[in-house]
Structure 1
Amino acid sequence: MLGTLRSITLLGCLLGSVGCHRQPPAPPPIPKGDYSAIIRYLQTRIVQDMAREHIPGLSIALVNGQELLWARGFGMADTAMGIAVTPNTAFRAGAISKLLTAGAALQLVEQRRLALDAPIQQTLREFHVRSRFHQDPHDADRDITLRRLLSHQSGLPSEHLRDLRTAFAMGQMPMRVSGVWLSAPPGTQVAYSNLGYTLVGAAIERSSGKDFETQLQQGLLTPLQMNHASFVGTAAQSSYRAVGYEDGVASADAQVRDLAAEGLWASPRDLSHYVQMLFAGGLYKGQRLLHSQSIDEMFRQQNTGNALDFDCQMGLAWFLAPCGDEPIVPGVRTFQHSGGGDAFAAQLSLLPDQQLAVIIMANDSNAEDLVARLSTDTLRLMFQAATGAPACSADCQPPSHGLKLRQVPTATDRKRLAGFYATAWGVLRIKDDNTRLAVEWAGDTFELVRDEEGWLRAQKKLLGWWPRDLGELGRVQLDVVTVLGRRMLTARSYGQRIAVGERIEAPPLPMAWANTVGTYQVLNTHEPNAPLSGISVRLEDGFLVIRGQLHSEPLTDYILLPVDNAHAVLAGSGYGLGDTVSRQINGLSASGYAFKRTDSPHPPLSFRQK
């Protein structure tokens, strides 16, 4: 909320550099069963990729059924100390942590200490929510279940930013966030939530009677012989942990509060054991850690019928579809999860029917695109070695529509599309600019035109004449559709449609909210590496627009929609959207923070009150 965001799906690449599809060296022919040819190719390619992208260190593991085909480290775990990456070097796994947390929760479900469809309040009795979607507040509490937390359908906010980089005990979090406002009706849409997984971690502690690290070590990490895996500490506390880097500078490696969501340290070799257990139906070296029914449930789509999720399929923790990103093999089931941020990047991708998997981890925040591309290409080569058939035909290639001459939308079309759209990446503004449909989004400007299939496409011209390649942003197809009475901006890529944003109409502004225009600073916080230092609110084209601030760096713009005189929400649905902002005496509150006005109150603005 109110910050910058790196997506877990297509849009992260779409809004990032135009180099998401840089062409690597062509792989050699891969005969059936010849995994050694893949390894030889990767040994050369990985070194070249890392040098080109200035990535200090990387580690990879390849799995075929119950066999670890290859595990290898490249580059440096610590450049200052001259420590090389080995197959046992542990990296921050980021959001991949959720896969282990889900496994631990399912173990307790099997032991009947937790229940997938019982209200989480039965375990975390001090936790309750507030809701603008329910008549009865008890119904809102009953709607927050373990299943919905694990599948990101709880309706809880995506984050609780206050004290995000501190070592608060997980067991304190249910009380600290109790009374939080729901951002969406539970069970209606997938909206990625680290806060939800923090509550799962607290439920694991409460139901097991052990702290999270002890329960995970005893239940999963030690039986799986994940010898360098842990959910606690920083790189400085263990010699086998890699140092993270941001633009070549060593990261401070802050504490992670939400351990269950993103606190895991592990090597790809460690994670390969977890994958082998899944492939064996819950067994690892003869020991049963999960029932096969639990694994089936983990890999079963949980969001069937959610119209706003379009073609994004969600299991328990796992993404079961590319969600607009490249398919590994068209028509072949692919499950995956990535982990980014905190100066590391990681991805775990598997083909469950072929029992093939690749795990890649790197110690640089700029390595996400490299890790994603390398994961995709490696798994395709493994599929070819396993089946003898090439993984890709034209279906695997980026859309080839290019930058051909296209049709400018008609005046009627421009009028229908022009407006403000709330997205997880900030406000998208579409303007009817005489004969053009101009767009401002995520710090870039471009034009929308209709392609030969009638879809909207992004186009930009240098000096008003020569087309500029916008990468994924120029290749993806866009359009506005009405779903459940909401006008949704959607993207289609590789035959899949995903939600991008929602068209928002300017509401009448209550006087109380019109007078919140101004600047605010965080009040009474001494946390290190705080994600926010302040916010500002301004009026733009009839909208209240709120922007986060991190010291001197302005963050992302969001539309603020008043609900009543005391509460407003960040417009739209999805990551960080729908969250509640409350008015306080001489300030605002959001995501656990209190913000104090730093400028003089503006004279009352003349707006029609509700």
Structure 2
Amino acid sequence: MKTITEVIRLGIATYALCAMSVAQATTTDSDYQTQLSQYISQQMNAEDVTGLSIALVKEQEILWAAGFGYADKRQKVKAEASTLYRAGSVSKLMTATAIMQLVEQDKIALHTPLTQALPGFTINTRHGNLNDITIERVLNHHAGLPTDYLSGMWAEHPMTVSDMLSRLEHEYTVAPVDTIGVYSNVGYSLLGEVIGVQSGIEFNDYMQAKLLGPMGMKSADFNHQLEGEKAALGYQAGRPVSELPLRDVAAGGMNASVLDLAQVVKMVNGAGSVNGQQVLSAESIEKMLTVTNGDVTLDYDHKIGLGWHYIYNLLPESALVVGHDGATIAHRSVLLVAPEQQFGIVVMANDGGVNEEAISNIAEYAMQLMWARDNRVEFDDVEDLIAVPSPKAASVKQNFAGHFVTPIGLVKSQKSKRGYRVDLGGETLLLERDESGVYRFTKELLGLIPISLGELEEVSFESKRVDNLNVVVAAYQGYEFVIAQKVAQADIPVNWMYYLGDYELVSPFPKEVLDIRGVRLEVDEGFLLAEILVNDGDNQQVVLAPIDDDDAVIAGLGRALGDNIHMKRAENKIQLHYSGLVFEQNIAN
């Protein structure tokens, strides 16, 4: 099971890139490339990154681009600026741009319901009217659509999006619209279908003709897989792995080099103009970069425009930074832009098993280095100029006692003499007030000797009631996000007691994504739990909230939560259905 530190990282990653501390250095116009190269090598060596490419962009010029490590380690093929990678979810920025082109052409409007823009789309909902799912809400991940439809997502021969579309009629929305950001690859895959239907051109052909070509993204394409002479092989923690074809091309299937993605930075810097080509109006670019979820209380510091995420506390003077990151089986990417300063960076790597902070650290270091260079200040001084607000003691009485749904499953917290004792599935931490009056985690050996918790010591917690929900809000380096939701024990329908036991996965699912063995349904502390059993032993737990005798939802707020679980009897066997995957009860139960 994941550790509490990973909970914090998951909470941050649920929304957007978060400001990270980076090593200190100094810079001048003559040595910033050398300095950045040294930092990149340091991070790659520390995290065993196989290959990486980077590009720095100022206004309409690529200042510097280079490769590090290997595109093919066995053949000793070095990574270059022209090396091709899978862009992952950075692809969504291009899909959102294409949607805005159709809006400018009056083919659709941001308020157009998805049911109207994409005939044939339907999904079950327990959360209001299906017509409330609009193009804008899909773009900003507030449509309440599931994060993924796992069946056929990654495969040698992936399911078509049109086939997925037809199967969504058996699925459910996961949240009411505009209540909390629920990141959705499903939503962006459907936007790809909208582009094809409304333009009359197949999605891949449209992207090539209307965006990639005009923008000068010469080696980029949208495809199920990465191919070609310049393609980087995929690795996980330095070991070669297969980068399986992906169904959701519009959500994460762009192949590109950092030179290609540098054109996206240019587009933002040029208010829609790239290399003399006006691919989008300045008004549309401004709209894409404008916060769309400012009234969504549960989002806290997760701010998003139309596809573009806001990144806080990265540059001095509260300078606006927007961007997106991407992850596939074997590739990582980050694209960041400071529109007002007219610069940005692109980082891409071909190792999906690395600590994602290494890639983010390189991207953020490069952004701060460029700011220092533009403003003619020593890099040592940059972090001192970034105003990160300190957490303040809560104005209302705090109560952390009870059971909470978190990204690692069910967590129990009990009142203790000095605060709260929090049980995290094998690990116990103390949650106590510090000298400033805010709650933080501590740990002691034998109840006497303090043990360092590293970056977790920087995180503060506050219990709040928001939108009639009791939640715990975490604050990390000035960034606030919901990390847990308090849940109460409830009666479990009798049928579900018969469903308890182990279930074997009978649907095909690639072990490169997650080596799933099955699912175990059990009751603990009066809660219905599902434990995802994986062959490497790193099982994952979720809390289930029964809806009726045969349906339950995964409890909690945010990414991959709220999904529906359906129990079914088929040919004298009990089956568990989740996201198109089928699990059958082990007869030995």
Please, what TM-score do these two structures have when normalized by structure 2? 0.90
Aligned residues of 1:340 and 1:346 also touching (Cα < 8 A): yes
1:268 matched residue in structure 2? 258
2:369 matches 1:381: yes
Map of 1:189 onto structure 2:
180
Which residue of the partner structure matches residue 360 of structure 2? 372
Matched, 1:478 2:468: no
Shift of 1:146: 1.0
Instruction: Report the 3-state secondary structure (helix = DSSP H, G, I; strand = E; otherwise coil) of the residue aligned with 2:221.
Output: coil
Residues 80-101 of structure 1: per-residue CA shift (max 9 Å, x gap) = 1111111100111111111111
Which structure 2 residues correspond to residues 560-571 of structure 1 after superposition, within 5 A?
A: 560-571=544-555
Which range moved further: 96-105 or 445-454?
445-454
Identity of aligned residues (%): 31
1:103-129 alpha-carbon deviations (Å, 9 max, x no partner): 111112222223211111113221112
**How far apart, in 2, do the equivalents of 1:438 and 1:281 lie?**
52
Instruction: Report the count of equivalent residues.
Output: 573
Deviation at residue 74 of structure 1 after TM alignment: 1.0
Q: Measure the CA separation in 1 of the matches of 2:550 and 2:133.
A: 25
Identify the residue that residue 239 of structure 1 maps to in structure 2. Answer: 229
Q: Aligned pair 1:337/2:335, yes or no? A: no
- The equivalent residue for 1:306 is 296
Which residue matches 1:608? none
Distance (Å, rounded) in 1 between the aligned partners of 2:524 and 2:290: 44
Change (3 A) 1:128 1:246: same
Q: Aligned equivalents of 1:114 and 1:4: distance in 2?
A: 45
Contact kept, 8 Å, 1:349 with 1:358, in 2: the verdict is yes
Which residue of the partner structure matches residue 578 of structure 2? 590
| Residue identity matched to 2:452 | D
Tell whether the 8 Å contact from 1:545 to 1:559 is kept in structure 2 after alignment.
yes
1:112 to 81, 106, 109: 106
Contact 2:22–2:365 (Cα < 8 Å) also in 1: no
Deviation at 1:197, TM superposition (A): 0.9
Matched, 1:151 2:140: yes
User: What's the offset of the Cα at 1:429?
Assistant: 2.8
- Distance 1:233-1:182 versus aligned 2 partners, 3 A rule: closer
Q: Which position in structure 2 is the counterpart of 1:607? A: none
1:205-284 matches, within 5 Å, as: 205-235=196-226, 237-284=227-274
Q: Is the 8 Å Cα contact of residues 123 and 172 (structure 2) preserved in structure 1?
A: yes
Amino acid at match of 1:301: V
Unaligned 5+ segments in structure 1 are 402-406, 602-610
Q: Tell me, what secondary structure is at the counterpart of 1:117?
A: coil
Separation (CA, whole Å) in 1 of partners of 2:12 and 2:478: 17
Q: Equivalent residue of 1:297, what SS?
A: helix
- Please point out which of 526, 529, 553 is paired with 1:542: 526
Equivalent-residue separation in structure 1 for 2:33 and 2:431 (angstroms) = 43
Counterparts of 1:307 and 1:249, CA distance in 2: 43
Report if the CA contact (8 A) 2:51-2:67 is conserved: yes
CA offsets 1:166-197 (integer angstroms, 9 cap, x no match) = 32223333212234211100122211111111
Superimposed CA distance per residue, residues 180-234 of structure 1 (whole angstroms, 9 cap, x where no aligned partner): 2111001222111111111111111222223222111111111112122122153
Sort the Cα spacing of 1:480 and 1:168 in 2 relative to 1 into closer, same or farther, 3 A. Answer: same
8 Å CA contact 1:510, 1:562 repeated in 2 = yes
Maintained 8 Å contact 2:50/2:70? yes
Q: Report if aligned partners of 1:156, 1:184 keep a CA contact under 8 Å in 2.
A: yes
Match of 2:25 in 1: 27
1:450/1:474 CA distance change after superposition, 3 Å: same
State whether residues 512 and 565 of structure 1, in contact with CA within 8 Å, keep that contact through their aligned partners in structure 2. Answer: yes
| Structure 2 letter corresponding to 1:376 | E
How far apart in 1 are the matches of 2:13 and 2:103? 39
Residues 567, 583 of structure 1: 8 Å contact kept? yes
- 1:394 Cα deviation (Å)? 3.8
| 1:74 matched to 2:68 | yes
Whether the 8 Å CA contact 1:517–1:536 is kept in 2: the answer is yes
Following the alignment from structure 2 to structure 1, what is the Cα–Cα distance between the partners of residues 473 and 554? 19
Task: Answer yes or no: is 1:176 the counterpart of 2:167.
Answer: yes
Change (3 A) 1:287 1:29: closer
Question: Secondary structure of the equivalent of 1:569?
Answer: strand
What amino acid maps onto 1:250 in structure 2? P
Q: Which residue of 2 aligns with 1:127?
A: 121
1:516 and 2:504 matched: no
Normalised to the residue count of structure 1, the TM-score between the two structures is 0.87
User: Conserved in 2, the CA contact under 8 Å of 1:319 and 1:335?
Assistant: yes
| Contact in 1 for aligned 2:5/2:456 (Cα 8 Å) | no
- Give per-residue Cα distances to partners, 1:489-538, cap 9 Å, x unaligned: 11112333211110111111111123221111223447675744421111
Quote how far apart the aligned CAs of 1:445 are.
3.7
Determine which of 469, 479, 502 is the counterpart of 1:496: 479
Match of 2:275 among 279, 282, 285: 285
Q: Secondary structure at the match of 2:346?
A: strand
Does the CA-based 8 Å contact 1:399-1:493 persist in structure 2? Answer: no
**Counterpart in the other structure of 2:411:** 428
Distance across 2 between alignment mates of 1:430 and 1:571: 18
CA apart distance, 1:287: 1.7
CA gap 1:330/1:162 in 2 versus in 1, 3 angstroms: farther
Out of 59, 67, 76, the position equivalent to 1:65 is 59
Partner of 1:604: none
